[in-house]
């Protein structure tokens, strides 16, 4: 006698808040986006680099800046079993620079690099803001002139065109060289000190450590004071002005529209000169789909030689959300569904389909596995979305034939010999 005990009730484990599965019905859109981006990057001769998702915590503190949202409150930091402090990467630039220094990629070389993958930030989850999200990052090294800044912007503009994204605008600013920023910083701190009573807690804390970030505040109570603050543009040195002028001229020549936004400072410390964001109004508050700029000091700051650099990152979820809202659908349906009726057909079916695959390498074929009655298999064929059902039953096996049934239009089922099959399929698809 078996001792039947009731299975214990098991709590179902859920995914972590703000970290989402990409389900089979969603993945075709991801794949469409990923392949479009990859093709584009290849056409501009950019090379892929893949970095680990975990790095020393120190890397992010030293690059992104201690007094930034990311380092102050958003990092997933933990001690590993050796007691080392590790962090799930909140962004890719720091890792990319770390890797480039470690492997000598910047030594007398220019690099145009890209990567794609998950990033982690402990933010309040909401539409367009997740704790695991995905970015495409593009980083260039060894080019100090504005042409590479322009190339990055033109490349992203081309991507929007390829994806059919229209409702997006370019916000552009320059933060100047570190010298001109230092001069401006003093003027700004003096101004902010005169309005200390309006500053919120975050801003008071940043007053000494990172005053430019105060300009980026979304606090409505501070907007008027921020709008009236001295303008960085008025404190730029000649080098910064020239660089910006060259960039805007190149963009003008290429017919790229932009809005110069002197309040755009970006949330990471390492930027200098050019900063930009592509913004849409269609996604509500989380409207920035792509952001970047120049970061000439970062390689040196992380222990490498002085290396000019510029790049940007795109938030994939936000871009996909735009595509979905625009009604874009990418399906992943097979072209052909193979119906195998009867024992003989089932035994011979798979090897027959393999030979078909040899001849039709670009056609997607789904084979009925797990048996089932003829009617049920035809139902599955229909549900699969395939255009054609290829039917192998006892008769077909006996006569070395296959029957072709068109699933999306009214037509007589036809039966062809094996040698006629490929030509018949090519005629239909
Ligand atoms: P935001 O102002 O929206 O917080 P950010 O300045 O922190 O953005 P970056 O670090 O510049 O963002 O990252 C580049 C892009 O990555 C953003 O423009 C956005 O599209 C995307 N992104 C950033 N954080 C998230 C997140 N938590 N969830 C989804 N996408 C994100
Ligand atoms: Mg952020």
Q: Residue 34 domain-assigned?
A: yes
| Same domain, yes or no: 32 and 169 | yes
Q: Is the CB of 91 under 6 A from ligand 1?
A: yes
pLDDT tens, position by position, 64-103:
988 888 998 999 999 999 999 999 999 999 999 999 999 9
Between CA 26 and CA 331 the distance in angstroms is 9
pLDDT computed for residue 182 by the predictor: 85
| Same domain, yes or no: 69 and 146 | yes
| Same domain, yes or no: 299 and 386 | no
Which residue in 135, 133, 132, 98 sits closest to 114, CA to CA?
Answer: 135
Q: Which two three-digit tokens encode residue 320?
A: 């996909």
More confident residue, 319 or 219: 319
Q: Is the CB of 317 under 6 A from ligand 1?
A: yes
Q: Is the CB of 206 under 6 A from ligand 1?
A: no
pLDDT computed for residue 46 by the predictor: 98
Which residue's alpha carbon is nearest to atom 24 within ligand 1? Answer: 129
Q: Is the CB of 280 under 6 A from ligand 1?
A: no
Q: Is the CB of 130 under 6 A from ligand 1?
A: yes
pLDDT tens, position by position, 113-149:
999 999 999 999 999 999 999 999 999 999 999 999 9
Q: Any binding-site annotation on 271? A: yes
Q: Is the CB of 382 under 6 A from ligand 1?
A: no
Domains of the chain: total: 2
Which residue's alpha carbon is nearest to atom 22 within ligand 1? Answer: 315
Other Cβ atoms less than 10 A from the Cβ of 278: the count is 24
The last residue of a domain, from among 325, 352, 367? 325
| Same domain, yes or no: 364 and 417 | yes
Ligand 1 atom closest to residue 70's alpha carbon, by position in its atom list: 7
Between CA 224 and CA 212 the distance in angstroms is 16
Q: Residue 231 domain-assigned?
A: no
Q: Residue 268 domain-assigned?
A: yes
Q: Any binding-site annotation on 121? A: yes
Ligand 1 atom closest to residue 313's alpha carbon, by position in its atom list: 14
The last residue of a domain, from among 297, 325, 353? 325
pLDDT computed for residue 373 by the predictor: 95
Which of 5-9, 22-26, 180-184 shows the highest mean pLDDT? Answer: 22-26
pLDDT band at 4 (very low <50, low <70, confident <90, very high): low
Instruction: Sort residue 108 into left (φ over 0), alpha (ψ -120 to 50) or beta.
Output: left
Beta strands in 286-375 (DSSP E): 288-294, 309-315, 336-340, 365-367
Ligand 1 atom closest to residue 290's alpha carbon, by position in its atom list: 18
Ligand 1 atom closest to residue 69's alpha carbon, by position in its atom list: 7
Q: Any binding-site annotation on 44? A: no
pLDDT band at 6 (very low <50, low <70, confident <90, very high): confident
pLDDT tens, position by position, 358-388:
999 999 999 999 999 999 999 999 999 999 9
Q: Any binding-site annotation on 91? A: yes
Q: Residue 14 domain-assigned?
A: no
Rounded (10°) CA dihedral 407, 411, 413, 416: -100
| Same domain, yes or no: 148 and 270 | yes
Q: Is the CB of 293 under 6 A from ligand 1?
A: no
pLDDT computed for residue 262 by the predictor: 86
Mean pLDDT of the chain: 94
Single pTM value for the model? 0.92
Q: Any binding-site annotation on 139? A: yes
Three-point CA angle 399, 400, 402, nearest 5°: 100
pLDDT computed for residue 270 by the predictor: 83
Give the domain range for residue 383.
336-428
Between CA 310 and CA 428 the distance in angstroms is 49
Q: Residue 48's domain is classified under what CATH number? A: 3.30.930.10
Q: Is the CB of 60 under 6 A from ligand 1?
A: no
| Same domain, yes or no: 148 and 65 | yes
Q: Residue 330 domain-assigned?
A: no
Q: Which two three-digit tokens encode residue 88?
A: 């799930």
What percentage of residues in the chain have a pLDDT greater than 90?
86
Q: Residue 382's domain is classified under what CATH number? A: 3.40.50.800
Q: Is the CB of 276 under 6 A from ligand 1?
A: no
Query: In this model, does residue 2 exceed pLDDT 60?
Result: no
| Same domain, yes or no: 112 and 81 | yes
Q: Any binding-site annotation on 337? A: no
pLDDT computed for residue 69 by the predictor: 87
Query: In this model, does residue 1 exceed pLDDT 60?
Result: no
Q: Is the CB of 313 under 6 A from ligand 1?
A: yes
Instruction: Judge whether 140 and 295 are in contact, CB under 8 Å.
Output: no
Q: Any binding-site annotation on 294? A: no
pLDDT band at 178 (very low <50, low <70, confident <90, very high): confident
Ligand 1 atom closest to residue 277's alpha carbon, by position in its atom list: 18
Query: For 156-161, what is the mean pLDDT?
Result: 98
């Amino acid at each position: 006698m078996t001792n039947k005990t009731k299975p214990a009730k098991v709590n179902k484990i859920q995914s972590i808040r703000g970290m989402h599965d990409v389900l089979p019905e969603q993945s075709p859109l991801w794949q469409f986006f990923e392949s479009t981006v990859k093709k584009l990057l290849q056409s501009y001769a950019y090379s892929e680099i893949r970095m680990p998702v975990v790095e020393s915590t120190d890397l992010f503190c030293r690059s992104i800046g201690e007094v930034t949202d990311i380092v102050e409150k958003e990092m997933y930091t933990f001690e590993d079993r050796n007691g080392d402090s590790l962090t799930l990467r909140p962004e890719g630039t720091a890792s990319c620079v770390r890797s480039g220094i470690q492997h000598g990629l910047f030594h007398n070389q220019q690099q145009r690099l890209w990567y794609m993958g998950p990033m982690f930030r402990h933010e309040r989850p909401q539409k367009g803001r997740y704790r695991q999200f995905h970015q495409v990052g593009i980083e260039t090294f060894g080019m100090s002139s504005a042409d590479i800044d322009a190339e990055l912007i033109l490349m992203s503009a081309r991507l929007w065109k390829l994806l059919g994204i229209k409702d997006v605008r370019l916000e552009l600013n320059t933060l100047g060289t570190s010298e001109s920023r230092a001069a401006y910083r003093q003027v700004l701190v003096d101004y902010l000190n005169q309005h200390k009573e309006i500053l919120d807690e975050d801003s008071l804390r940043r007053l000494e450590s990172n005053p430019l970030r105060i300009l980026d505040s979304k606090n409505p109570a501070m907007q008027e004071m921020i709008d009236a603050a001295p303008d960085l543009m008025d404190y730029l040195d000649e080098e910064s002005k020239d660089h910006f002028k060259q960039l805007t001229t190149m963009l003008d020549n290429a017919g790229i529209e932009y809005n110069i936004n002197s309040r755009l400072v970006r949330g990471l410390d390492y930027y200098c000169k050019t900063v930009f964001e592509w913004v849409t109004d269609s996604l509500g508050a989380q409207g920035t789909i792509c952001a970047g700029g120049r970061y000439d000091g970062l390689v040196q700051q992380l222990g490498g030689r002085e290396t000019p650099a510029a790049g940007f990152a795109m938030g994939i979820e936000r871009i996909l959300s735009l595509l979905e809202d625009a009604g874009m659908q990418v399906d992943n349906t097979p072209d052909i569904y193979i119906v195998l009726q009867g024992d003989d057909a089932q035994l011979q079916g798979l090897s027959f389909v393999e030979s078909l695959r040899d001849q039709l390498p670009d056609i997607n074929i789904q084979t009925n596995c797990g048996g089932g009655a003829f009617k049920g298999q035809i139902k599955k064929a229909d549900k699969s979305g395939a255009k054609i059902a290829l039917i192998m039953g006892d008769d077909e096996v006996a006569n070395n034939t296959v029957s072709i049934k068109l699933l999306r239009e009214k037509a007589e089922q036809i039966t062809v010999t094996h040698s006629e099959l490929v030509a018949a399929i090519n005629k239909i698809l």
